[in-house]
Structure 1
Amino acid sequence: MQIQALLVMLREVFEAALIVGIIITYLKRTDNGKFTKYVWLGTGLAVLASAGVALLFQVVLTGFAAMASEIYLKVAIMLISSVLLTQMVFWMAKNNRDMKNNIEGKLGELVTAGSVIGMVIHTFLVVVREGVETVFFFAAITGGNIQKGFEGWGAISGVVIALFIAYLFFKGTMRIPLKTFFKITSAFIVMIAAGLLVQGIAILQDLTIVGSVMPEVYNLTWLLPEHPIDAAQYLRNTGVEPQLSGEVGIFLKALFGYSANPSLEEVVAYLGYFVVVYLLVTVKNKEGAAVRKVATTKVKNPKAFTNGSISQNAYK
């Protein structure tokens, strides 16, 4: 869980810090530093709002637990979080190239209008989105104990690393391109999303809500049990200890959704998820390449532009 918390917090906090950093840098560069206090006000309000959402989420989870329905809410959160994590990766891949220009364009409008309230609201919205996503993801990876997730070393480390990387980036000493950073973190986020999807399906099968054609495709408990409890059970049943510790199994289950004895549906869902993500990435990369090719194509004849239109022979 702590590794998951670290990766999620690292990604979310860095995105928020990146956006706030772009806003403040733009304001200072355009001699509008007087507005930075409103940016920090919006950021502070967003953090408080996110904490409020976390508290509300915990209250709702506790209420479901009192009604003995907590497990159903947890499954729903796992499955929805899997979708949101995947969407987050694709959104950042699509928008990180134009993020700076989009943010500065909006800020230019607010500065020109002298809208202090607009500045606060704009900053609040872009930061609170990251905060609410973090709360939702933590509810999924901690099984509903959001407070425990935020108190662990993973969340704290994620915040510290994210802020440090953002600091280096804006100081000009960051050597890793943003594109590379997001690719690396996206790969781990996708693995977490796949793991949540499979765990959700496994719980639905345990609740007999979803059936199974083949309840157990293989069993690797002898090699790598999912949990120390499974290792102890295997030792009692066979008199032989598993090859690897159950602690390793916990780590792999939390990070990659590892299962020692998955059902056919879990295996298909896990592999199918990566196939779908790969196909979507391939399609989006081709679309992006086509757009960039058109944008960078030189015009042969400047006179081809007439009344805002371009003749068919204008491009090479």
Structure 2
Amino acid sequence: MLANYLIGLREGLEAGLIVGILIAYLGKIGRRDLFGRLWFGIGIAVAVSLGVGALLTWGPYAMTFQAQEVLGGVLSLVAVAMVTWMIFWMGTHGRTLSAELRGQMDAAIDHSWIAIVVLGALSVGREGIETALFVWASVSGGSDPVLGTFGAVLGIVTAIVISWGISRGLVRINLSKFFTWTGLFLILVAAGVLSYGIGDLQEAGVIPGQGQPAYSLTAIIPPGGWFSALLSGIFNFTPEPTWAQVIGWVVYVAVTMSLYLGMLHRRSRPTPVTAAAPTASAPTPAAAS
């Protein structure tokens, strides 16, 4: 539940910030008449996201077991790729997000009302589809799908409340630190989803090695216990992973975490200030003497 709550909270905050920036900018330039078109596009994004979630939830039931496992494994890998891209995109574009959105809104206003609808749909729809796909992949591998789904919904509701509070000046939050720490946490969550997806592909026979665990932690973390359920719900933990799952988890965490920490280090370094060259009209010390 905690992992899905943070997924919903983070993605919901990103969408809320985007909506807030677009609404505030339209108000600032005196184009409140365009609010309806923007909200129409946002409504389309929400409907598409809910449709994707419903399709992922009920669509596979008409498929064979092997087809379900292949679909589950592939979508888990896609979810990991999307959330990884999202983490790095927010890390590199967070500081310029407001300027980029204002530029896109200016371009949409210059074209037609349809462009504003499309901008609202694409800006929020990306976050919504990422949320639907990643939450589905996380819930599928968890021990309690209902609780996991509730956690995601609760996170989205919390994000809506926080976004409203920020827009009214009632809530102050260091968004840079929030996205930094949740990014680190989501890397570990994504690694668990990756491991789960590999397991699905092994059960379908796409990847060899099913039924050959690399090690067993059942003596330390018994299946069915509260601690096992907690780890499974947050990190898709399995006490007897295969070698493919272990290798996939370790490689993903090592590579992604190294790149992410490197990005944070580069972002934290102060920008060097170059000294301005003396102008031709300014006398040098030697000339002045």
TM-score, with length taken from structure 1: 0.77
Q: Superposed, which structure 2 residues align to 1:299-310 within 5 Å?
A: 300-301=276-277
Q: 1:195 offset after TM fit, Å? A: 0.3
> 1:53-88 CA distances to partner (integer Å, 9 max, x unpaired)?
3344445423324x7521111111112212222111
User: Measured at CA, do residues 213 and 54 of structure 1 come closer, stay the same or move farther in structure 2, by a change above 3 Å?
Assistant: closer
Contact 1:38 1:116 in 2 (8 A): yes
Provide the rounded CA distance (Å) in 2 between the counterparts of 1:251 and 1:150: 12
1:137 pairs, out of 106, 122, 134, with 134
Provide the rounded CA distance (Å) in 2 between the counterparts of 1:140 and 1:213: 20
Q: Which residue of 1 aligns with 2:42?
A: 43
> 1:109-140 CA distances to partner (integer Å, 9 max, x unpaired)?
334x2732221111111111112222222331
Provide the rounded CA distance (Å) in 2 between the counterparts of 1:211 and 1:59: 28
Q: 1:194 offset after TM fit, Å? A: 0.5
Q: Which residue of 2 aligns with 1:62?
A: 61
Are 1:182 and 2:159 matched, yes or no?
no
Provide the rounded CA distance (Å) in 1 between the counterparts of 2:210 and 2:200: 16
Provide the rounded CA distance (Å) in 1 between the counterparts of 2:196 and 2:253: 15
Q: Superposed, which structure 2 residues align to 1:93-242 within 5 Å?
A: 93-111=91-109, 113=110, 115-143=112-140, 152-212=149-209, 215-226=212-223, 228=224
Q: Which residue of 1 aligns with 2:285?
A: none
Q: Which has the higher contact order (CA 8 A, sep 6+)?
A: 2
Provide the rounded CA distance (Å) in 2 between the counterparts of 1:182 and 1:114: 33
Contact 1:61 1:144 in 2 (8 A): no
Provide the rounded CA distance (Å) in 2 between the counterparts of 1:60 and 1:23: 35
Provide the rounded CA distance (Å) in 1 between the counterparts of 2:3 and 2:212: 27
Q: Which stretch shifts more, 95-104 or 41-50?
A: 41-50
Give ranges in structure 2 of 5+ residues lacking alignment.
281-289
Contact 1:43 1:127 in 2 (8 A): yes
Q: 1:193 offset after TM fit, Å? A: 0.5
Contact 2:138 2:236 in 1 (8 A): no
Q: 1:214 offset after TM fit, Å? A: 10
User: Measured at CA, do residues 137 and 152 of structure 1 come closer, stay the same or move farther in structure 2, by a change above 3 Å?
Assistant: closer
Q: Which residue of 2 aligns with 1:14?
A: 13
2:258 pairs, out of 279, 282, 291, with 279
Percent identity among equivalent residues?
29
Q: Which residue of 1 aligns with 2:231?
A: 252
2:72 pairs, out of 62, 71, 74, with 74
Q: Which amino acid in the other structure matches residue 301 of structure 1?
A: A
Provide the rounded CA distance (Å) in 1 between the counterparts of 2:44 and 2:202: 42
Question: Partner of 1:69: helix, strand, or coil?
Answer: helix
Give ranges in structure 1 of 5+ residues lacking alignment.
229-245, 305-316
Provide the rounded CA distance (Å) in 2 between the counterparts of 1:4 and 1:213: 27
Q: Which residue of 1 aligns with 2:81?
A: 83
